[in-house]
Structure 1
Amino acid sequence: MENALKLAMFGRVNIGEQLNEGYRLGIRKHNEEVDKNRHILYKIIDCVKFCGAFELALRGHDESESSENPGVFKGLVDFVASLDSVLQEHLQTATVFKGTSKTVQNELLDCMFSVLREHIIDEIRSADFVSIQADETMDISTQCQLVLVIRYIDKAHNVQERFFEFIPLQSATADSIATALLDRLSSILPDDKKSKLISQAYDGASVMRGATGGVQKKVQDVYVNAHYVHCYAHQLNLIMQQVTSHIPVVNQFFSDLAGFSGFFSVLDRVVAHRLPRASTVRWNFHIRAVNTVFEHKDDLIQCFETIRDSGEFEPTTVREAGGFVRLLEDDTFSFFLKLFHHIMPHVDILFSQLQKRTIDSVFVQRIMQQFTDNMQMIRDSIPNLCGEHSASQQQLAKKRRTQGPGELQRIAAEVCDTILGHAKERFSFTKHLISATLLQGDKFQQYNSQFPEAALNTTVEAYPLLNKNKLKTELSLIYSNEEFKNCSGALALYQLFMESNLQDTFSETVALLKILITTPMTTAESERCFSTLKRIKTFLRNTMSQDRLNALAMLSMEKKLIKDIHDFNHRVTEKFASLKERRAKLMYRK
């Protein structure tokens, strides 16, 4: 008993002091003051979180008490103080630790960023497989930035794509990008966890995808299982760009179409709404321009004629309006307008499906099959579209030196063939993605009669960690079971196994599903991160340290994660209190 007593009191003050009434009162008073200081700090942390989530500037130009424009953060703290008497009293009487200084803000940002990074790293290390998505761009202050996004399945069996950080680059060369990535990966995945990294996704730039000296090759030399996946959303843009670059008439059509949005963007008094602008990068934006012009063709003609006849506009505007009238009445332009009115909705649907975070290679293969089927139907219906051109229109085409029905039919067929050809070529699965075909629900009946031995061998070769014999047995059972044939993707099948507690029974299939789900199909999350970067750099500060930039970006992009961490404020406070010796009392005594 004496030994137990000494162990319990080891490192503490002696029993005599603890029994002293004055000592106990001092401890109680100290802890009460800590409670008050922590309550105040929690409120300040909430204000910083609010500003970060909505990308609001923390500081204004004038933070003095008499300032009429003190900044969002100061105004928010004053508002919270009006609802909290403890905080209000503190702000009025505090002389040691007020909590609203620039230094405290920056230290809190550092602590928040550190807590979130630690939480994400813990999730990554507990996941079975990890993928990275990276992209680089020049930000608003002309600094080359690389964004790193980590994709994995968390403990709740949900797919997560977490922003990790913006990395400043000296140059956009393969060596510079690869060095930065490998440096960050070494801090996330220790040497004994390197096999977890099963995929890396970038855009199609040669710097990224180079087979001998590209970023993906340099990363795979260190992380052997990190197979490269081209961003499928970028591939869709490339397909549509091929259509216009190789067919001059189509290129001219989209140039003319872009003229409508440009005309009305400076002429808002004639129409109530602007026409959607076309984009050469985001091809799904063309769908709105095509649909608007097609559906309101007669209204546009009437509008342009009103501009010409009103006599209220300058000669340049009248001349352009006359040109648009002739363009809308042109048979060739009308034909391509109708053709792309059929094509672009399918492109738009496919593009939006490729932007989802939860897509996997099984899902991509299924939606690509739907897309090619729809393109083939449009290809087959081209003669009907061209049949609307009468003989008189054909004679008129010869006089005007425009395209006749036969030539239009040939060009339309070339457009569809180009889309189909490039879709099949660019979306054809590379060696490690052949594994997706093993779990494609619409082929289960075919696989039941003839097992896909070649695809299984390719899968095991790409991922040696899988047990081939056990995986074959499990897949054979899945193929023979009618209930699995309605599988719509790897994620749905994975969730079924987890909800039914079948992860041990189908252990190899679950491992393959995790690989397929963790493998990213697009770098859409990277693009979203750059969008946040641009807003932060533009609306907050054009020059700031990299740590503050990453912290503000993290607060904005991972605001849901902050809500999910139930003790976030407590962990930030503990880290803030332990940074250095503070005059304010923030640590409890016993």
Structure 2
Amino acid sequence: MIDTFASIVKEEIAENIKSCHYFTVQADEAKDVSKTEQLALVVRFYNEISHCIQECFISFTPMSSLDAAYITGIILKTLEKLGLDYKSSLVGLGFDGASVMSGGISGVQKRIKEKAPFASYLHCYGHKLNLVLTIVAKNVPQSSEFCSLLEEVYLVSNAVVREKFLSIQREMSPEEQIRELQHLSDTRWWCRTTSCENALLHLECIIRLLKETSADDTGARAVSARGLLAQMDAEFVCLLKFFSEILGNINKVSQQLQDKQADLGKATKLISCLREDLADLCPAGQTFLHKDDLKSFALSYSVKQSDLKHELPSVKKLLQKELQPPTSLVEFLSFNHPYKSAFDCLYRLLLIAVTLPVTSASCERSFSKMEIVKTFLGNSVTSERLSNTALLSIESKWAETIFVANGDTYLEIMGQYL
């Protein structure tokens, strides 16, 4: 029954993708509880009827090899099973920066581009932001030292004295939520934000914990506690407040980049906002719809430069007559929809632009569902059952729409496929 329902949902998703001009693919891999490498595949497309971007989970596929040729074969075979024309309609690939995926000579993106010439590779913006922040944090002495000190505080508070730390919080801050410090991971930047916020909120509790630990304990833990106390001076408090504010702003951008509705225009604005440089990114900017800026993008997708050159001035005039001009790519695409036959080249470029993936967050979110479906007690579940169960759970809205449509019951729909 699960497999049948999943097939119905997958067919419906495939039909919606086929009705669109373009689509993009996101892929990422992770190990399940049985240590089997699973490749998650997500398809992103723009629905011209509802005027919104959709990212749909397609499948988990077990991998017996991690080389580029094998992964490329899995992705292309999955698209073929869905009946999707990837040779002309696949316009983007969203992967992380692993060399096997991003390699420009023999990586997955290069091999797929040989089959689908319009499939441009985009490195996940979330990963790029995380990489930049990690490198900067390690190369600025004050930042590196502060993060190391915060990690040492975490190690002390998360050891045997953890329960003592929690009891001190209950005693000193009974009305506040009990919080723990986070391990500072290089791949999950949000944990630094959470750690700074929790440390700032319960700074007095941390100082008291270190004092009691240095007085009551003996050996290495007491020595570590005394060393940390000596370094938690006014400068540390200032840095803690500074990083809490800065990292909070960065974390908001990171969370918004993971939104399914995020497009390249929104991602560019969010990143530029951190650098305080938004002037030329909105429709009021001087470089908006500038033919030179669109030239390379148009060439990548074989759009005629001569036609595009004539369309841009007319679109600008239409925008000037609007009381509320569009502020995002999706809004601008919706604005151009009634004129798509007149401005065919620009409309095509806008469709591609909103379809291109910003992050591979949807793939990573699917791994959370994989951990729920395939547990230690249920690790004998087959790969097909894992994929189908995850599909029904992740794409539950599609299932609800299909099975409630036209008053059909589950049994009536099942009868059409059994």
Pairwise TM-score range, normalised by the shorter structure: 0.7 to 0.9
Contact 2:14 2:84 in 1 (8 A): no
- 1:112–1:572 contact (8 Å) kept in structure 2: no
Distance across 2 between alignment mates of 1:222 and 1:353:
33
Q: How does 1:56-455 map to 2 (within 5 A)?
A: 108-154=1-47, 155-189=49-83, 194-247=87-140, 250-265=143-158, 266-267=162-163, 268-272=166-170, 273-277=178-182, 278-306=184-212, 311=216, 318-329=222-233, 331=235, 333-334=236-237, 336-373=239-276, 440-443=282-285, 445-446=286-287, 452-455=290-293
Is contact 1:132-1:199 (8 Å) kept?
A: yes
Cα shift at 1:579: 6.2
Deviation string, structure 1 residues 397-431 (Cα, Å, up to 9, x no partner): xxxxxxxxxxxxxxxxxxxxxxxxxxxxxxxxxxx
1:9 aligned residue? none
Q: Tell me the amino acid that sits aligned with residue 384 of structure 2.
A: D
Q: Which has the larger helix fraction? A: 1
* Long gaps (5+) in structure 2: 171-177
Change (3 A) 1:567 1:487: closer
Q: Encode CA deviations 1:29-66: one digit per residue, 9 max, x unaligned.
A: xxxxxxxxxxxxxxxxxxxxxxxxxxxxxxxxxxxxxx
* Match 2:294 to one of 456, 460, 463: 456
CA distance, structure 2, for counterparts of residue 172 and residue 484 of structure 1: 53
Report if the CA contact (8 A) 2:179-2:198 is conserved.
no
**Alpha-carbon spacing, 1:224–1:140, altered in 2? closer, same or farther (3 Å):** same
- Judge which range, 112-121 or 483-492, deviates more: 483-492
* Distance apart, 1:349 and its partner CA: 1.9
1:353 is displaced (CA, Å) by 1.7
Q: Which runs of 5+ in 1 are unaligned?
A: 1-107, 375-436, 581-590
Indicate the structure (1 or 2) with the bigger Cα radius of gyration: 1
Report Cα offsets for 1:274-302 as digits up to 9, x if no partner.
32313321112211212332354345334
Distance in 1, matches of 2:393 and 2:407, equals 16
Indicate conservation of the 8 Å contact 1:363/1:488, yes or no: no
The 3-state SS of whatever aligns with 2:380 is coil
What is the aligned-residue identity percentage? 27
Q: 1:568 to 1:135 in 2, by over 3 A?
A: farther
Instruction: Measure, in 2, the Cα distance between the counterparts of 1:488 and 1:180.
Output: 38
- Flag the 1:573–1:540 CA change in 2: closer, same or farther, 3 A: farther
Question: Which SS does the other structure have where 2:122 is aligned?
Answer: strand
The answer on whether the counterparts of 1:111 and 1:572 sit within 8 Å (CA) in structure 2 is no
Alpha carbons 1:165, 1:550 under 8 Å: kept: yes
| Deviation of 1:334 (Å) | 4.1
**CA deviation map 1:365-408 (0-9, x unaligned):** 2222111129xxxxxxxxxxxxxxxxxxxxxxxxxxxxxxxxxx
- Counterpart-to-counterpart distance in 2, 1:271 and 1:316: 24
TM-score normalised per structure 2: 0.86
Q: Which amino acid aligns with 2:294?
A: L
| Aligned residues of 1:111 and 1:575 also touching (Cα < 8 A) | no
Higher relative contact order (CA 8 A, sep 6+): 2
Q: CA deviation at 1:570?
A: 4.4
Residue 334 of structure 2 corresponds to 495
CA contact (8 A) 1:136 1:172 kept: no
Distance 1:111 1:176 in 2: 28
Q: Whole-Å Cα distance in 2 between the matches of residues 455 and 243 of structure 1?
A: 29
